[in-house]
């Protein structure tokens, strides 16, 4: 059966219907994001069949998208294992105890930003950094009475800024593959927008620390109660930092992120066995269902009760729902029709910058996934860049910067859900303080315009 391409009006109508279904279900009816995506996917599938598409075509497209994002799904599972094993071993409790004793409240935001930035650059995974060091830092912020929205903003800024500027970054390597570029070229392209962003964020978090954070933090009694809760339930010693050292050393040596994280989990499990006197069965249960804390302090119990493979199942299911929706939506031809009309009105290469930024934001909002947005936008813009004889590294730069940050800011996206779940702060609350996102996208736009202007 021959399929027909929808007209511009039909394309806009399809997109409007999908958007209304998603917004109506998620915002108005408070239906879960995954089910809302499946409702929208079902409607788009009926439309696609009406336009002559076969189910096999749509399903193959879904599988292709899932295949490209599969490494990221493994990383998500490993984030759950890191979370549980590093708590069970005492690594995260030790980091929290050290932080409560040593960190100045007014310097906390700056240190949290820089620390998460460096660790994400080494590991290449913003999700793993949020799940491990982010959790420890939010525990310190809780104990020092630092506004959690500010703390979460600094943590998310550092994690996602460092994660996309790493040789191990899954986002950059995906962008390189789908734009026919190499990762090193994309890193070089990012320098003019990323370097000033780091400086600006450092200044802003330092200023916020000295103006909005109480210099004394929480009272000494509460901090001591939190430290006592940790010390009374974990055998703390300097060796508990070994999982951190293993991850950082292997990351610096350039090993792939998945073996690096697995090594961190393995070392933590050995420490849980030897230092925390946990048995093999108990450790296995923690890896599956997460760590359950019984410190006697309600704040510390809530903070340390988390992790495990099961804790990541909702996010994995959400990703599958997002890929299902995106794969079917793409096969309706609606996005292609709208973009083709949009691109036909572009007479100068520099107009591609604003167009790519806006469509990347829109596709993250629609699909709940930065990976889906990157794949869809690369497919749409790659031929256009070639027609204008432009280097596609510029396209890779734009879609990586925008998609990564939108993945941390769109409340129903996987990155935002993971950050919110781990840090205990809603996306809407921390969003204004993720300075790296707003500043980096602005610099990306400015420098891309400057480069395009020379074309």
pLDDT tens-digit series, residues 63-92: 887 887 787 788 888 888 998 999 999 998
Look at residue 217 in the predicted model and tell me its pLDDT: 54
Q: Average per-residue pLDDT in the chain?
A: 86
Residue 316: which pLDDT band, with cuts at 50, 70 and 90? confident
Q: Which among 447, 25, 368, 454 has a CA at the least distance from the CA of 195?
A: 447
Q: Which residue has the higher pLDDT, 350 or 447?
A: 447
Q: Can you state the angle between helices 183-212 and 108-123, rounded to 10 degrees?
A: 160
pLDDT in tens, 163-213: 887 766 778 878 888 887 877 788 888 888 899 999 999 999 999 998 887
SS3 112: helix
Q: Per-residue confidence at 453, pLDDT binned at 50, 70, 90?
A: low
The confidence score (pLDDT) of residue 220 equals 63
* Least reliable range by pLDDT among 308-317, 330-339, 432-441: 330-339
Around 404, how many Cα atoms within 13 Å sit in the side-chain half-sphere?
36
- Cβ-contact 166, 123 below 8 angstroms: yes
What was the pLDDT predicted at 268?
95
Given a cut of 70, whether residue 159 has pLDDT beyond it is yes
Residue of 127 and 349 predicted with greater confidence: 127
- Give me the pLDDT at residue 455, please: 52
Mean pLDDT, rounded, for 321-350: 80
- Give the C-alpha separation, 412 to 366, whole Å: 10
The gap between the terminal CA atoms of the chain, to the nearest Å, is 43
Q: Do residues 160 and 201 touch, judged by C-beta distance below 8 A?
A: no
For residues 366-380, average pLDDT: 82
> pTM of this prediction?
0.82
- Check pLDDT > 90 for residue 284: yes
Instruction: Please name the helix (run of DSSP H) or strand (run of DSSP E) that holds residue 22, with its range, or none.
Output: helix 8-23
349 and 455 in contact (C-beta within 8 Å)?
Answer: yes
pLDDT over threshold 90, residue 381: no
pLDDT at 218: 54
Does residue 219 register a pLDDT over 70? no
| pLDDT digits 0-9 by tens, 11-53 | 888 888 988 988 888 878 888 888 988 999 999 999 888 888 8
- For the cut 60, the answer to whether the pLDDT of residue 1 exceeds it is no
pLDDT tens column, 338-370: 777 777 777 776 778 888 888 899 888 877 788
pLDDT at 306: 85
Q: pLDDT (tens digit, 9 = 90+) per residue, 225-249?
A: 888 988 999 999 999 999 989 988 8
How many residues are given for the chain?
A: 455
Token pair in block for residue 119: 């660790």
Q: What is the pLDDT of residue 2?
A: 61
Query: Which residue(s) pair with 306 in the sheet?
Result: 291
Helix (H, G, I), strand (E, B) or coil at 325: helix
């Amino acid at each position: 059966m021959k399929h027909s391409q929808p007209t511009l009006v039909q394309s806009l109508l399809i997109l409007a219907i999908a958007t209304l279904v998603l917004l109506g279900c998620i915002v108005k009816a408070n239906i879960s994001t995954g089910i809302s995506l499946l409702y929208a996917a079902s409607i788009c599938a009926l439309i696609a069949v009406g336009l002559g598409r076969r189910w096999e075509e749509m399903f193959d497209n879904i599988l292709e998208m899932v295949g490209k994002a599969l490494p990221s799904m493994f990383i998500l599972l490993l984030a759950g294992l890191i979370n549980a094993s590093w708590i069970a071993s005492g690594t995260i409790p030790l980091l929290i105890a050290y932080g409560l004793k040593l960190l100045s409240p007014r310097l906390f935001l700056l240190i949290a930003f820089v620390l998460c930035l460096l660790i994400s650059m080494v590991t290449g995974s913003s999700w793993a950094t949020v799940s491990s060091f982010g959790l420890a830092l939010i525990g310190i912020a809780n104990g020092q009475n630092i506004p959690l929205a500010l703390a979460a903003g600094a943590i998310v800024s550092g994690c996602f800024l460092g994660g996309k500027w790493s040789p191990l970054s899954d986002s950059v390597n995906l962008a390189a593959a789908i734009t026919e570029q190499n990762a090193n070229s994309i890193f070089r392209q990012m320098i003019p927008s990323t370097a000033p962003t780091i400086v600006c964020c450092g200044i802003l978090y330092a200023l916020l620390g000295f103006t909005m954070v109480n210099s004394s933090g929480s009272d000494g009694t509460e901090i001591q109660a939190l430290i006592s809760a940790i010390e009374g339930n974990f055998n703390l010693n300097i060796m508990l930092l070994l999982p951190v050292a293993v991850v950082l050393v292997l990351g610096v040596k350039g090993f792939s992120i998945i073996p690096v994280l697995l090594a961190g989990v393995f070392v933590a499990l050995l420490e849980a066995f030897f230092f925390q006197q946990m048995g093999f069965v108990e450790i296995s249960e923690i890896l599956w269902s997460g760590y359950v804390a019984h410190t006697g302090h309600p704040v510390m119990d809530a903070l340390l009760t988390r992790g495990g493979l099961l804790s990541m199942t909702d996010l994995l299911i959400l990703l599958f729902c997002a890929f299902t929706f995106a794969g079917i939506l793409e096969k309706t031809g609606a996005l292609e029709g709208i973009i083709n009309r949009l691109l036909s009105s572009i007479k100068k290469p520099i107009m591609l910058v604003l167009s790519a930024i806006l469509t990347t934001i829109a596709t993250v909002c629609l699909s709940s996934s930065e990976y889906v947005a990157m794949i869809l936008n690369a497919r749409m813009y790659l031929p256009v860049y070639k027609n204008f004889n432009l280097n596609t590294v510029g396209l890779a730069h734009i879609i990586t910067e925008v998609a990564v940050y939108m993945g941390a800011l769109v409340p129903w996206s996987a990155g935002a859900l993971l950050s919110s779940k781990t840090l205990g702060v809603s996306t809407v609350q921390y969003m204004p303080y993720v300075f790296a996102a707003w500043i980096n996208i602005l610099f990306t736009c400015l420098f891309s315009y400057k480069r395009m202007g020379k074309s």
